[in-house]
Chains A and B, each alone.
Chain A
């Protein structure tokens, strides 16, 4: 493989030039995205993207250069430019970067799948989506019926001046449908299995078929229609049950992002923001109630937050973040881990060959409750409350404290029963207050891993694929609705 040899030679040259450290990533990605809307293919594209990036640490300052031109001369030139950029960074250095002692790895990783989605005929994919849309559109009040699929195949090579050499190959597949009902100026949407394009796993086309989009279209349509005449969510303070996928986004925004150590150290404060989980809180801050346990875990097979090695070549790990409600760990990198006295948790990932790795979520999971409580049990145990499902809107402040989420659907609970459907449910809170109000989490049988393929962070913006495993949970005395 010529590219590997050129990259190795470039790293050897950089070593001779006296850099502290350098790594190189070459990436090949094939992707396909399909969106159908009503009777039309609204968008369909196939993309091939390849290139390489070289990261250099020179006298404790970083530089990075990337190019899509795969020639020996371009590789050497790009390496030299990465060094030139690092020298520019050095002009403003106040403290030299030091990396942890993670051992260089040599190995490979391949995600499992049964059916390569890129070999499945387009006719079959469109047939499945249009079949689901036909069911969604059986009522004329469904103004917009939409379905989508996306597929990614990524092959990555990682090399470093420390001697790391890693090959990884990851396949990902996702799909979802939605129905937007409209009547008399009212507009209500339901999605299956989740909003934001559905669900996505590191699997093949067998995952798309397992979603049973056609079979679930009728209930999706009927809930959208029922929402047209539902009562609006009242403004109140009440007990709130959050179902699995919305709780995944809650974890993402209020636990995942604030436990990224680069945010806590201030490297994102001019864009995405900082974190209320400052270094002094590590190991002692009560983030949630005693039943709240959250882990980072990049080792779960089949999740889009899993991999063999991160983009610094650190092996995938499982590590605690919140233990019995106490904040005990950050997501870290080789640069930041020593600041909190540890080694990298293997959370550095880059969107593509032309991006540097940043600390990104892996799978950030809420452990299920100890008792095997079902969602029905949890509703039956709730005297007054609201149950919400499927994200519609999301907003959280720059320190990840004050959040507001809107959901597609809600149900009022009275005396342990769902008594009526509610439209436009919204809830708001303050992160630690909210997680400390968590008094019940459903059991293992309700736990599900969700893929979230659109996590944004960094400048230039990078979109990352992450996962969240959750079971429905209850939060006491939560503010719902919007106060006038």
Chain B
């Protein structure tokens, strides 16, 4: 970590020396460590330190981007000169007007000393306790535990200056028995808030249930989807539907259909950086303040997210969702939340006459038919048959193929509790559990033919 004063000072000097008409610098860097384990022993343990600067310049309406991971002032000034050369060979971008003006940002608390100072030895000591906990039940543990600190700064020749430090602690615990596996995970900016023992205990309890998996016939069944399943699906919806490019180009199911109903009236999906359970980066990679954006409101298509250029193209206002310079994807939502309901996972199970409890999805793909949000994927880490309000037994992993518009039109219940599913870069999904009627399963995981 370079620190706010020193980093912004360096970037300011580079902007002042840049040969470009206009200059924007986006700096991302930090120190992170990751410990991976299997069979209750660490098999991979890494730390890295890196900082990259995206130098974007504008010559009139021509843009050029050069990225370097050297932090010497001269190197950055030279990168600006190379970016000018790139810009001069590009056609004009009719949607570029200017880099954003200085702005005020929401305050979000994303940095905690306890996490920044969490060492590889501390991660190993934590895992040693969890391994001992699983040893007592005769299970092995696999997974990953990462922690680190990062800083993101944006500075441009209009005087905009934005800086945010972040820390992250993220752990995945996968208990493994001779019969099956389960998975529990946690994310927090503050490592001291993670209840490692409780998390492991929940995973171990689920793992004990995941045995004697029986095969059930494929077809339509009610499902109770836990939050991590929805996080996978929402990530795909962000790519194929809630971003600016898919909307402008007509590939999104929202394109030309704002104001129309596409999901059930109990579904509200929005992007927000300040939630009771999680906080995110208050600006995008252009330094534009992040706005709360309602994507789906009571099942009705309300909007998508934009950066400055895609907003100009769509003749609307930016929402603060720009990606790092030079990327071709337009704007993408980063902090997608599904509004909670008034149920609970236990109530959903007890109300289910016959259905499946799905704890995790695997390898979801949303490119089958994006206009219908048709997706496929597998279940993983424990799929359980629920009958007459009780978990009866585990079943073999299943392939599902389903339109998410149909699935989100068939939601019968939503939990009050939500789970933060995140990566270390300031993005997260905040998802409840949901009960979906008539979800479509199309295959089974097994070695012999179906």
Contact = CB atoms under 8 A, between A and B. Distances in A.
Interface of A: 33, 35, 37, 39-51, 53, 61-69, 78, 81, 84-89, 91-95, 121-123, 126, 143-144, 148, 180, 182, 185-187, 265-267, 269-271, 273, 276, 354-356, 392-399, 401-402, 404, 406, 424, 426, 428, 430, 432-433, 459-460, 479, 482-483
A46 B82 contact: yes
A395 B34 CA distance: 27
A351 B265 CA distance: 45
Interface in B36-72: 36-52, 54, 63-70
B120 A85 contact: yes
A348 to B, nearest CB: 13
Contacts of B316: none
A45 B66 contact: yes
Contact of A393 (B52, B86, B368, B448): B368
Given A187-B371, A398-B378, 11 more contacts: A41-B93, A46-B65, A47-B67, A67-B48, A67-B50, A85-B47, A88-B120, A92-B128, A182-B250, A424-B368, A433-B447
Contact of A426 (B48, B91, B368, B397): B368
14 contacts: A40-B91, A42-B330, A61-B45, A68-B70, A92-B40, A182-B250, A187-B371, A270-B144, A271-B144, A398-B362, A402-B444, A402-B446, A406-B365, A482-B442
Contacts of B54: 45
Interface in B218-262: 218, 245, 249-251
B326 interface: yes
Nearest to B326: A45
Nearest to B369: A424
Closest 6 CB pairs of A and B: A43-B328, A45-B326, A35-B328, A42-B328, A122-B89, A88-B120
Contact of A92 (B42, B328, B443, B445): B42
A270 B142 contact: yes
A270 B90 contact: no
B6 interface: no
Contacts of A432: 447
**Residue of A51, A392, A459 most packed against chain B (CB within 10 A):** A459
B27 interface: no
Nearest to B379: A397
B80 to A, nearest CB: 12
B446 to A, nearest CB: 7
A16 B322 CA distance: 50
Interface of B: 32-52, 54, 63-70, 79, 82, 86, 89-91, 93, 95, 119-121, 123-125, 127-128, 131, 142-144, 146, 172, 174, 176, 181, 183, 218, 245, 249-251, 325-330, 362-371, 376-378, 380, 397, 399, 401, 442-450
A356 B376 contact: no
A42 B323 CA distance: 12
Given A271-B144, A424-B369, A395 B377 contact: yes
A87 to B, nearest CB: 8
Contacts of B127: 92
Q: Of residues A45, A47, A144, A398, which shows the largest number of chain B Cβ atoms within 10 Å of its Cβ?
A: A45
Contact of A40 (B50, B93, B371): B93
Contacts of B142: 266, 269-270
Contact of A91 (B68, B82, B124, B329): B124
A51 B69 contact: yes
B144 A51 contact: no
Given A46-B66, A68-B51, A270-B142, A126 B45 contact: no
Contacts of B250: 143-144, 182, 187
B249 A144 contact: yes
A294 to B, nearest CB: 19
Given A41-B93, A85-B33, A269-B176, A397 B47 contact: no
Nearest to B40: A94
Contacts of A396: 363, 378
Nearest to B54: A45
A356 B142 CA distance: 19
A210 B399 CA distance: 41
A266 B38 contact: yes
A397 B397 contact: yes
A393 B365 contact: yes
Given A42-B328, A65-B48, A406 B86 contact: no
Given A43-B327, A88-B121, A270-B144, A398 B380 contact: yes
Contacts of B121: 84, 87-88, 91
Contact of B45 (A62, A182, A398, A430): A62
Contacts of A92: 37, 40-42, 124, 127-128, 131
A50 B70 CA distance: 8
B66 A68 contact: no
Given A180-B251, A276-B447, A459-B34, A397 B378 contact: yes
Contact of B449 (A266, A355, A430): A430
Contacts of A404: 376, 399, 401, 442-443
A62 B45 CA distance: 7
Given A91-B124, A91-B125, A123 B89 contact: yes
B41 A94 contact: yes
A276 B448 CA distance: 12
Contacts of B33: 85
A43 B44 CA distance: 35
Given A121-B89, A267-B36, A394-B365, A68 B49 contact: yes
A345 B120 CA distance: 31
A301 B363 CA distance: 33
Contacts of B46: 63-66, 85, 355-356, 460
Nearest to A93: B41
Nearest to B125: A91
Given A402-B445, A430-B450, A89 B45 contact: yes
A94 B39 contact: yes
A61 B142 CA distance: 16
Nearest to B79: A48
A395 to B, nearest CB: 4
Contacts of A50: 69-70
Contacts of A51: 50, 69
Contacts of B51: 68
Of the candidates B44, B367, B444, the one having the most CB atoms from chain A within 10 angstroms of its own CB is: B44
Contacts of A33: 326
Contacts of B364: 395
Contact of A41 (B49, B91, B325, B448): B91
Contacts of B67: 45-49
A85 B144 contact: no
Contact of B90 (A126, A401, A433, A479): A126
A94 B443 CA distance: 38
Contacts of A122: 86, 89-90
B313 to A, nearest CB: 9
